[in-house]
Chain A
Amino acid sequence: MEDLLLGIEALEFLKKEGFPILESRITISEETAASYAKDIGFPVTLKVSSKTIIHKTELNGVKPFLLNEKEVRSAFNELVHTFNTLGRTKDINGIIVQEMGKGLEFIVGVYVDSQFGHTIMFGQGGIYVEAIKDVSFRPIPIARKDAKEMIQELDAWKIITSPRQKRINPVMIEDFLLKISDFVETHKNVEEMDINPVFVSEKISICDARIKIGPKNK
């Protein structure tokens, strides 16, 4: 049995494992969405949560930078309208109201290679990951030295260490990569994972993730 965790399920799974997540709540009502947004604090992002849709942005399923209740309500209705028109309402299990992420966007991935087994990837994240291809890989488990070198190998290292970018402490990213490596060591049934984007500023927070879980006894 293979299981694909997307949207709120992936976020809640990672939260349970102790990873830092942007505050996210799911709802099917405009009223509740508005009240969640007030609780979380503006600006917020609204996005569709689905068990089947992997690339939400391509379907206009993400509405970022919502500054007030009015914008949240209108974004909610737009999302409902978009997916009604697409005839894909059945693919949606709700709308996520999420705290806006701040900082640089990175991707942290896990992949099982036929020769190397479980590997970890770190790179520049966002929707252009595959266009930029600024990534580094290591077989899991990794040591702190590996985590450090993975970060330094990226072109983005120049941004991380730029004098204009004082908030990012690379050690925090190293800790995160080491935690993912440990997590995979104890969850060998994780067959593939994209944590993308993960926002890095003075803190680190996961914004979105997709996880492919294989059979338990693997």
Chain B
Amino acid sequence: MYYEKLNRLFSPNAIAVIGASDSFDKLGYHVMKSLVKGNCRQPIYPVNPNAQTIWGIKAYPSIMDISDPVDLAVIVVPARRVPEALKECGKKGINGVVIITAGYKEIEGEEGKILEDEIKSIAEAFEIPIIGPNTFGFVNITDGVNASFTYEFSLIKNGGVTLISQSGGFCHLCGFLAMEERMGMAKLMSLGNRVNVDFPEAVKYFLEEDEATKVIALYIEGIENPRALFETIKSAKKKKPVIAYKAGRSEKGDAASRFHTGTLAGNYRIWKGALRQAGILEVNSSEELIDTAKVLDICPFMKESRVAVLSSQAGPGMIASDTIESLGLKLSTFSDKTQENINHLLPPFAIRTNPVDMGPAWYSPETILNILKVVAEDENTDGIIFIAIFASANLNLLADMEKIIKDMEPFNKPVIACFNAPHGVWDDNIKHIDGKKGIAIIHTPERAARAMANLYKISLSVS
């Protein structure tokens, strides 16, 4: 019942915006913009007693005046008017609500807390799941529903990563990084004050119910009952990779304790251990979160930790290899057959063992891709880092590779590629190749190596 309602909340058939506005300085304007400009295909019902139309769409004085059924209501009216609006949603039979309005538990003073308790009890009476209050909303990239106040999230590529965040700001940061790095997302949301949809409920829904979600990324600052989240993941009917970025890393222990253990029991130390115990991979930066999630979404799992580095320029290949080894992965030793095949493809004036310097084949996209193909078939290799850096002389390299890759079979091992060029040169080809045939393009050799190491760790715990 509850999860069916969450399903209607995240994939609604019709949406009402309570507090919709035509005035740029109101959040109700921006929520409408997100839905309209984000090409929401479902009916949109602006609710505002003082307007005939909003964003050119017929407006209603109250949600009760809409005759057709509505699944989702996005509430953006001032905090004191939210309880009344929520009650009307309950009477109307709304399946789920997003409360963007802030000014509750997070502010100083009693009033916010009292209002939030009121919201909680109304939601309980009508059995309405709520995202928020105090959130920017959520974005369902899969179905094109942008129920947030930032229209630009609609430009994120469609894919399998779902970000569940405790901060709206972090969603904005990661959403924009996702665009820059071409990471495909299914959903992103900030849970806000988590009045009744907290991490366990959201994670369970996206693990078990949402087919589009392949990878779950969490941003956590602090939650009251972390064990409930871990139990949810442990007992979920489906396993998907879960990664987490934990902020608030104070090492301060229990100042009142006279024991060594209490003095050292900093909250972050315990979190670190608890995440690992729960099989959640901890990441340590926004970039690492994006890179890891993207690779997990695109690439198959690794059987073992043996990595091949194929680089069109020796230097970047060397730093990829250094990072691979520093993170506990191994450089693979090719089988005799693989080595022989490479030796046929490359002349003897470059290093042909791993890491392979493909420099002599710099001008030949066929050769470079043939090397990639024979190494992908190597029985001693579990993952490949594939590097090509631009120079004027190889201007057409990526365009030619794109044509060949289009007709290639998908790789059954992870291929993490680094293609770096000035803006405007290889952009389109990079966009077209990224995510195809199991190839994930990551910004730098070091980041590619780290993403590979994380893929390996997850492969051990999930596959």
Which residues of A are in contact with B by a Cβ distance under 8 Å?
Answer: 54, 107, 109-111, 113, 115-117, 119, 121, 123, 129-130, 133, 135-139, 142-143, 146, 149-150, 153, 192-194, 196, 210, 212
Instruction: Tell me whether A111 and B261 are in contact (CB under 8 A).
Output: yes
A47 to B322: give the CA distance in the assembly, Å: 51
A153 to B260: give the CA distance in the assembly, Å: 19
Contact of A138 among B258, B267, B273 (CB under 8 A): B273
Chain A CB within 8 A of B50 CB: no
Instruction: Tell me whether A137 and B269 are in contact (CB under 8 A).
Output: yes
With known contacts A111-B265, A139-B270, A194–B276 Cβ distance under 8 A: no
Instruction: Tell me whether B260 and A130 are in contact (CB under 8 A).
Output: yes
Which of chain B's residues have a CB closer than 8 A to the CB of A109? 259-262, 264-265
A200 to B263: give the CA distance in the assembly, Å: 23
Instruction: Tell me whether B277 and A194 are in contact (CB under 8 A).
Output: no
Which of chain B's residues have a CB closer than 8 A to the CB of A135? 264, 269
Which of chain A's residues have a CB closer than 8 A to the CB of B264? 109, 121, 123, 129-130, 133, 135
8 closest A-B pairs by beta carbon, nearest first, are A109-B261, A137-B273, A111-B265, A138-B273, A129-B260, A137-B270, A111-B261, A194-B259
Shortest B256–chain A CB gap in Å is 11
Report the nearest B residue to A135, measured CB to CB. B264
Which of chain A's residues have a CB closer than 8 A to the CB of B273? 119, 136-139, 146, 150, 153
Shortest A142–chain B CB gap in Å is 7
| Per-position 1/0 for B203-228, Cβ under 8 A of A | 00000000000000000001111110
Contact of B260 among A113, A117, A136, A196 (CB under 8 A): A196
Which of chain A's residues have a CB closer than 8 A to the CB of B265? 109, 111, 113, 119, 121, 137
A138 to B277: give the CA distance in the assembly, Å: 7
Q: Report 25 cross-chain contacts, Cβ distance below 8 Å, ordered by A residue.
A: A109-B259, A111-B254, A111-B257, A111-B261, A115-B225, A115-B226, A115-B267, A115-B270, A116-B226, A116-B270, A116-B274, A119-B270, A121-B265, A136-B269, A136-B273, A137-B273, A139-B227, A139-B270, A139-B273, A142-B277, A149-B276, A192-B257, A192-B261, A193-B261, A212-B259
Chain A CB within 8 A of B373 CB: no
Supplied contacts A121-B265, A123-B264, A130-B263, 14 more A-B pairs, CB within 8 Å:
A54-B258, A109-B264, A115-B222, A119-B265, A119-B273, A130-B260, A133-B264, A137-B274, A138-B277, A139-B227, A139-B270, A143-B277, A150-B273, A192-B261
A149 to B276: give the CA distance in the assembly, Å: 9
Which of chain A's residues have a CB closer than 8 A to the CB of B230? 139
Which of chain A's residues have a CB closer than 8 A to the CB of B223? 115
Which of chain A's residues have a CB closer than 8 A to the CB of B259? 54, 109, 111, 192-194, 210, 212
Report the nearest B residue to A138, measured CB to CB. B273
Which of chain B's residues have a CB closer than 8 A to the CB of A117? 227
User: Most B CB atoms within 10 A — which of A129, A137, A192?
Assistant: A137
Report the nearest A residue to B230, measured CB to CB. A139
Chain A CB within 8 A of B252 CB: no
Report the nearest A residue to B251, measured CB to CB. A133
Shortest A152–chain B CB gap in Å is 11
Which of chain A's residues have a CB closer than 8 A to the CB of B267? 113, 115
A109 to B227: give the CA distance in the assembly, Å: 20
| Per-position 1/0 for B342-377, Cβ under 8 A of A | 000000000000000000000000000000000000
Chain A CB within 8 A of B272 CB: yes
A194 to B224: give the CA distance in the assembly, Å: 26
Instruction: Tell me whether A121 and B261 are in contact (CB under 8 A).
Output: yes
Which of chain B's residues have a CB closer than 8 A to the CB of A129? 260, 264
B418-457 interface with A by 8 A CB criterion: none
Contact of B277 among A111, A130, A139 (CB under 8 A): A139
Contact of A116 among B227, B254, B263 (CB under 8 A): B227
Report the nearest A residue to B279, measured CB to CB. A145
Shortest A33–chain B CB gap in Å is 28
User: Most B CB atoms within 10 A — which of A119, A150, A153?
Assistant: A119
Which of chain B's residues have a CB closer than 8 A to the CB of A107? 260-261
User: Most A CB atoms within 10 A — which of B264, B269, B273?
Assistant: B273
A176 to B265: give the CA distance in the assembly, Å: 20
Contact of B261 among A110, A138, A143 (CB under 8 A): A110
A139 to B254: give the CA distance in the assembly, Å: 16
Which of chain B's residues have a CB closer than 8 A to the CB of A123? 264
A143 to B260: give the CA distance in the assembly, Å: 24
A178 to B258: give the CA distance in the assembly, Å: 25
A187 to B463: give the CA distance in the assembly, Å: 36
Report the nearest B residue to A4, measured CB to CB. B258
Shortest A141–chain B CB gap in Å is 10
A129 to B258: give the CA distance in the assembly, Å: 13
Which of chain B's residues have a CB closer than 8 A to the CB of A194? 259-261
Which of chain A's residues have a CB closer than 8 A to the CB of B224? 115
Shortest B341–chain A CB gap in Å is 38
Report the nearest B residue to A141, measured CB to CB. B277
Which of chain A's residues have a CB closer than 8 A to the CB of B226? 115-116
Shortest A110–chain B CB gap in Å is 6
Instruction: Tell me whether A146 and B277 are in contact (CB under 8 A).
Output: yes
A65 to B225: give the CA distance in the assembly, Å: 48
Shortest B460–chain A CB gap in Å is 11
Which of chain A's residues have a CB closer than 8 A to the CB of B258? 54
Report the nearest A residue to B224, measured CB to CB. A115
Shortest A55–chain B CB gap in Å is 8
User: Most A CB atoms within 10 A — which of B222, B223, B258, B260?
Assistant: B260
Which of chain B's residues have a CB closer than 8 A to the CB of A138? 273-274, 276-277
B168-222 interface with A by 8 A CB criterion: 222
A132 to B277: give the CA distance in the assembly, Å: 24
A91 to B264: give the CA distance in the assembly, Å: 27
A143 to B279: give the CA distance in the assembly, Å: 12
Report the nearest B residue to A121, measured CB to CB. B261
A153 to B269: give the CA distance in the assembly, Å: 12
Shortest B267–chain A CB gap in Å is 7
Shortest A192–chain B CB gap in Å is 5
Which of chain B's residues have a CB closer than 8 A to the CB of A115? 222-226, 267, 270
A136 to B224: give the CA distance in the assembly, Å: 22
Which of chain B's residues have a CB closer than 8 A to the CB of A146? 273, 276-277
